[in-house]
Amino acid sequence: MRKLVPRISTALHHRRRHLTHAFLFCFLVLLGSQILFGFTAYESHGSTFTVSMHQEAVAAPSLLMGAKLHVHTVVMIPTALPSGKRRKYVNDQFLRQEWRAQSVVMIYIMGTRDGDKLEKKLNVSQEVHDEIEKVEGKIHYIFSACRDEGDQMNNPNGTSATTCKVYEGFKHVYSMYVAEFVWRSADDAYLNLQMWFRVAASMPKGHLYFGRKRVPKRDDWDVQVKSQPDLQEQTLQGLEIFGPYMLGMGFLVSYSVVEFLAEMKISPKLTWCEDIMVGMWLLPYDIEWQDCRQMGIHMLNRQEAIEALQSGAIKSGESILLVHYIQPQDWGTIEGDGRITFEYIGFGIRGMDRGWDP
């Protein structure tokens, strides 16, 4: 019996050690899963899921040990919680093309707040939860502490939903990725990624802000800050008119611009329309503003694209990089090479037709 005692002790020692290692492994896996999925927490409340967060909760993959994922292009799309129908078309097109994660990553930024001072918390519906499950991690979702819908006029205490989401999106992208370029697209726009990768090498080097540029005129009603006296006095320090910017259909910035915005110690102003405000953020700095039209690249509203194709002003869809206000039926006219044809429409269509048909 004496000879068996050391063997039993040794066996017990090994068993304890294996159990300790197994416990430690499980703990690390659990900790890693929390890091991997950005500490996203869902609390079931009937048919809804409440997002628990400090500043933001992320339903997107992270990397252990603080490493960043290297990717060529990040496509960032501000969207509202109820806009699932729009996202479905965007998602289907993106997943159909089976992009490699090293080439392009697509991220949605949603809001979870409402109220004049963002005092109301919103629930994330079961439909959004199911949508996230369906894409199986191939498309990423950020739930920010931004307003989810609306640009509040004349409210210095409020924030534009889209402006806040884009700023939070830039910070998230910088914390998670090292990229060449970052697109801000839209959930009612078609961004031809196949064309993008054909023209990306021709983009100007350095600090870049690319899109369809607008230079407002003094009598343009939509850029007159004086129509919003509280905003003008309390937030914009007497400014009467907004400056130039890239239209909100979509724009591109170099990663260096994302890094600059993300590392600012003081937040930029988040009030009023996002495309205008991003132009204000970047205007004072040595950043190259590149109008797509100067490169022969078209970024168009839907009606403009249809009329250009029908008139022959554009010979084929190859030079249309982005179409805004796209309708559900338009997605079915996208060819295998990324061209959009609108072939079901025929000739003679007139009118603006800019709205969204759900």
Q: What is the pLDDT of residues 277-331, one digit of tens each?
A: 999 999 999 999 999 999 999 999 999 999 999 888 987 667 899 999 999 999 9
Q: Encode 136-169: b = buried (16+ Cβ within 10 Å), e = exposed.
A: eeebbbbbbbbbbeebbebbbebbbbbbbbbbbb
> Which pLDDT belongs to residue 151?
85
- 29 pLDDT more than 70: no
For 169-206, write each residue's pLDDT tens digit. 999 999 999 999 999 999 999 999 999 999 999 999 99
Banded model confidence at residue 163, pLDDT cuts 50, 70, 90: very high
**CA 290 – CA 66 distance, rounded (Å):** 34
Q: How many CB atoms lie within 10 A of CB 200?
A: 14
Query: Rounded to whole angstroms, how far apart are CA atoms 228 and 150?
Result: 16
Local confidence band at 23 (pLDDT 50, 70, 90 cut-offs): low
- pLDDT > 50? residue 49: no
Q: What is the mean pLDDT of residues 233-252?
A: 93
Question: Please, which residues have CB within 8 angstroms of residue 228's CB and are 6 or more apart in sequence?
Answer: 153, 154, 272
Q: How far apart are CA 139 and CA 134, in angstroms?
A: 10
Q: Are the CB atoms for 340 and 324 separated by under 8 Å?
A: no
> Would the CA dihedral through 29, 31, 32, 34 be positive or negative?
positive
Looking at domain 48-295, does it have CATH number 3.90.550?
A: yes
In this predicted structure, what is the pLDDT of residue 21? 55
pLDDT tens for 97-145 read 999 999 999 999 999 999 888 899 999 999 999 999 999 999 999 999 9
Highest-pLDDT range among 74-78, 265-269, 307-311 = 74-78
- What would the mean pLDDT of 342-353 be, rounded to a whole number? 58
β-sheet bridge partners, residue 190: 323
Per-residue pLDDT for 229 more than 80? yes
- Phi, psi for 141 (deg, rounded to 5): -130, 130
Report DSSP letters for 116-185, one per residue: TTS-EEPPEEHHHHHHHHHHTTSSEEEEEEEESS---TT-TT---HHHHHHHHHHHHHHHHEEEEEEEE-
- pLDDT of 85 reads 97
**Residue 170 burial (CB < 10 Å; 0-12/13-18/19+)?**
buried
* Domain ranges (residues) in the chain: 48-295
Separation CA 296–CA 233 (nearest Å): 41
| pLDDT recorded at residue 22 | 53
Q: Which distant-in-sequence residues (6+ apart) come within 8 Å of 258 by Cβ?
A: 170, 173, 174, 179, 182
